[in-house]
Structure 1
Amino acid sequence: MTATAPTGTALPTSDVDPFSHEVLEDPLPMHAELREAGPVVHLARYDVYALARYAEVHAALVDWQQFQSAAGVGLSNFRYEEPWRPPSLLLEADPPRHDAPRRVLQKVLGPRALRRLREGWAADAEALVEEVLARGPAFDAVHSLAATFPLRVFPDAVGIPQPGRENLLPYGDHAFNAFGPDNDLVARGAPRVAELSAWVNAQCRREVLAPVGFGADIWAASDRGDITPEQAPLVVRSLLTAGVDTTVHGISAVLYAFATNPDQWQRLREEPALARVAFDEAVRWESPVQTFFRTATTDVRVGDVVIPEGRKILMFLAAANRDPRRWSDPDRFDLSRDPSGHVGFGMGIHQCAGQHVARLEAEAILTALARRVRTIELDGPTVRHHNNTLRAWESIPVRVRVD
């Protein structure tokens, strides 16, 4: 990668491909170069404007008036291009269209719902940990825990049937790949798009969903007139699209963090109440959602640069989350840090509506592990799973010692 400022202009230009396999394997050097190049960098390969510093990313996330989501949060510009599926009412809409679905989902996923789930999810996590430990001290943290637990508890909470749940991960993987360019990662998922989309859409119908659960609550909101009957299945679809993969990779991130930072694992064992802090610190440190796009609704000035109206802006959430201008010793995973300002869940009106659900899932699995596992360490080479938007793991082999 090279990042240079052309003579006579304040705008640095880079030839980096953020979606190349080399960068997806290890994006940290690119993040550092983009941050140092300036508050805005022009990415020549895709003719988009990049923000990698915390202050600029945070400002863009909260300014929905100038940094539009309705034109798509991926590289594709919905002003000129047809999206591959109906746009998300949560991610790919702005006020006023965004307001009612957001209010409904915030209520459905609110504190009362989470209190109802807490005890059952804690018991499920303890049972899963016991199952895994009974098979021996060595296992894959991704396949045995991070991918298994969310697929056990979250679809139940939504109220979808058991058959076909294995479709959620490949569907989500393709949805997040589709936010990037039309590259080999998108092609990898293309053969199953119609099949997976049809299955997910079917799960969003009222008659398929259980009578109690997040899905039923969303349809009840349409009965009250809070949203329309046409909007209800799209809101359920948002849960199924973004509610599994992101949590899987977030839990993978915190397990990897502990496997490579044994002192922090001991601290969690001594203070189990730090489980939620640990998850948020891992989301800051690893940033499972690496990037999102916005579109300028007018000529927008960022520093000394004017981004023209209608142009795409690529926000590097992960780079912002390790910006030394905002964070002390940002490359360290540290439970003494207050990570609450991170942008790993977004910020502003489009901030992840399900973040508290993800925190509850992570808290349950970490608490159960900390109760039983004395040490956790890597037990072989780790393998990344490449995705245009997500920082994901394919495999994290670990070995544990139990009490």
Structure 2
Amino acid sequence: MAASALEYACSDFDPFAWDTRIDPYPAYAALRAKAPIVRLEKYGIFAVPRFAEIKAVFADHLNFSNAGGAGIVNYFKEKPWRPPSIVLEADPPLHTRTRKVLARIMSPGAMRGLENGFKAKAVALVNELIEKRSFDAVRDLAEVFPVTVFPDALGIDNEGRENFLTYGAMVFAGMGPENDYFRTLMAQAPQVLPWVAAKCQREALAPGSFGAQVYEAADSGEVTQDEAPLLVRSFLSAGLDTTISAIGMALFSLTRHPEQWAVLAANPSLARAAFDESLRYDSAAPYVFRTTPHETEIAGVPIGKHEKLLLLIGSANRDETRWERPDQFDITRRVSGHIGFGTGIHGCVGQMIARLEGEAVLAALAASVASIETTGEPVYRDSSGLRALSSLPVRVTTK
């Protein structure tokens, strides 16, 4: 079934190049116009740029496996630098067991229990910042808020929480080819990885917390005792790094579209819709990988065993065959169906808590801020796995 390279549409597109990551959308449009699946010659992988095919891959875990790794490294052929996630980088039946536990812990009822506290803490933080009039929307808000509220829910104390940011940066920077940013982060691994592992142990977690509930599931036999700390670790990407990046990119989108900020400021109840539209318009998680466990095909194109597929989520969410005015940022858009959180059995299990955090921040700002504008150039993080900012200096005008 394997086909020669000549049978594929091929491209010299480099999704990990710095210029591409700053503005990938023209290249995405060219790929969508080219073919439903394109061989990226530089890396020997396939890119899937269109909404329909990506959604089909998400729905088919039998032919497109997560166990091969969420990044470019092929776990069927190479050993990963850390134990794989037993949720994101696992297939059924293991994934079925672990996902069931996380989904129960992060239930709609549990989210309602967190909502008032999250909103109150967002208002307090935002009020402190807007008194200054100028602040860094990433360093002072998008990073600070999730690291303040989510480890509390997970049951982890305050000591050393900045290590969570380093760990999350390692995970996502490692999704693409190694670069200097990833190597710099990995130099901290001897200190950070043992710290994270210790914080995921039963004795480090507050009673009744999300983390403690994982160990209750282990005690009842739903997961093993060895799996429990890995499952606690899975919460970190669900509630921290991707959420931080998503909040930062949402604020960036709103500063670039002052007319949309005016709509939100006039109606702060649109905060959740604004967060979702930002996930569609400029996704903080622009891609994810799948790996073929055996020979298969996409859109009639044969794909060999153990091939890496780059699912271009950021491209799919701008696909003109799925969205009207796809390149327009519109917080009043009916945006249900975007795949910023993925979909299918591996759809982001933490998406409700990410939305809760994003909504809390945007609503708190919109309630008091009439306008928001940048006061300097945004600084992109050199992560090959996230579309994220490390700095966004802003100035606000209060109502």
Same fold (TM over 0.5): yes
Question: Structure 1 residue 97 and structure 2 residue 94: aligned?
Answer: yes
Query: How far 1:269 moved relative to its partner?
Result: 2.5
One-letter code aligned to 1:227: V
Q: Which residue of 2 aligns with 1:295?
A: 291
Deviation track 1:327-381 (CA, whole Å, cap 9, x = no partner) reads 1111111022122211111111111111100111111111111111111122221
Q: Which residue of 2 aligns with 1:74?
A: 71
Pick from 95, 100, 103 the counterpart of residue 106 of structure 1: 103
* 8 Å contact from structure 1 (residues 10, 304) kept in 2: no
Query: How far 1:30 moved relative to its partner?
Result: 2.0
Alignment of 1:124-163 (within 5 A): 124-134=121-131, 136-163=132-159
Question: Structure 1 residue 247 and structure 2 residue 243: aligned?
Answer: yes
One-letter code aligned to 1:157: A
Question: Structure 1 residue 61 and structure 2 residue 71: aligned?
Answer: no
CA distance in 2, matches of 1:129, 1:91: 33
Question: Structure 1 residue 41 and structure 2 residue 74: aligned?
Answer: no
Question: Structure 1 residue 388 and structure 2 residue 384: aligned?
Answer: yes
SS of aligned partner of 1:313: strand
Structure 1 stretches of at least 4 aligned residues deviating more than 3 Å after TM superposition: 7-10
One-letter code aligned to 1:78: Y
Query: How far 1:25 moved relative to its partner?
Result: 2.0
Determine what percentage of the aligned residue pairs are the same residue: 45
Q: Which residue of 2 aligns with 1:270?
A: 266
CA distance in 2, matches of 1:56, 1:311: 16
Q: Which residue of 2 aligns with 1:261?
A: 257
Query: How far 1:23 moved relative to its partner?
Result: 1.6
One-letter code aligned to 2:153: A
CA distance in 2, matches of 1:303, 1:10: 13
* 8 Å contact from structure 2 (residues 40, 47) kept in 1: yes
SS of aligned partner of 2:397: strand
SS of aligned partner of 1:244: helix
Pick from 228, 235, 243 the counterpart of residue 232 of structure 1: 228
One-letter code aligned to 1:217: Q
* 8 Å contact from structure 1 (residues 105, 353) kept in 2: yes
Q: Which residue of 1 aligns with 2:364?
A: 368
* 8 Å contact from structure 2 (residues 265, 367) kept in 1: yes
SS of aligned partner of 2:390: strand
Q: Which residue of 1 aligns with 2:162?
A: 166
SS of aligned partner of 2:297: strand
One-letter code aligned to 1:162: N
Deviation track 1:157-203 (CA, whole Å, cap 9, x = no partner) reads 10111111001111111111111123333212121122211111111
Question: Structure 1 residue 83 and structure 2 residue 80: aligned?
Answer: yes
CA distance in 2, matches of 1:195, 1:36: 46
CA distance in 1, matches of 2:58, 2:394: 36
One-letter code aligned to 2:215: W
Question: Structure 1 residue 342 and structure 2 residue 304: aligned?
Answer: no
* 8 Å contact from structure 1 (residues 200, 240) kept in 2: no
Q: Which residue of 1 aligns with 2:192?
A: 196
Aligned length: 396
CA distance in 2, matches of 1:199, 1:45: 37
- Relative distance call for 1:82 and 1:401 in structure 2 (3 A) is same
* 8 Å contact from structure 2 (residues 49, 316) kept in 1: yes
User: TM-score when scaled to structure 2?
Assistant: 0.96
Deviation track 1:19-71 (CA, whole Å, cap 9, x = no partner) reads 12222222222212211111010011111111011111111111111001111
CA distance in 2, matches of 1:270, 1:22: 36
Q: Which deviates the most, 143-152 or 27-36?
A: 27-36
One-letter code aligned to 2:264: L
One-letter code aligned to 2:85: S
SS of aligned partner of 2:68: coil
Pick from 308, 313, 321 the counterpart of residue 317 of structure 1: 313
Query: How far 1:9 moved relative to its partner?
Result: 4.9
Q: Which residue of 2 aligns with 1:25?
A: 22
CA distance in 2, matches of 1:241, 1:170: 12
* Unaligned 5+ runs, structure 2: none
SS of aligned partner of 2:147: helix
* 8 Å contact from structure 1 (residues 294, 312) kept in 2: yes
Question: Structure 1 residue 378 and structure 2 residue 348: aligned?
Answer: no
* 8 Å contact from structure 1 (residues 204, 233) kept in 2: yes
* 8 Å contact from structure 1 (residues 25, 386) kept in 2: no
SS of aligned partner of 1:394: strand
- Relative distance call for 1:8 and 1:214 in structure 2 (3 A) is closer
* 8 Å contact from structure 1 (residues 204, 236) kept in 2: yes
* 8 Å contact from structure 1 (residues 172, 242) kept in 2: no
* 8 Å contact from structure 1 (residues 73, 293) kept in 2: yes
Query: How far 1:242 moved relative to its partner?
Result: 4.1
User: TM-score when scaled to structure 1?
Assistant: 0.95
Pick from 103, 113, 123 the counterpart of residue 116 of structure 1: 113
Q: Which residue of 1 aligns with 2:211?
A: 215
* 8 Å contact from structure 1 (residues 50, 313) kept in 2: yes
* Unaligned 5+ runs, structure 1: 1-6
CA distance in 2, matches of 1:8, 1:36: 19
One-letter code aligned to 1:317: I
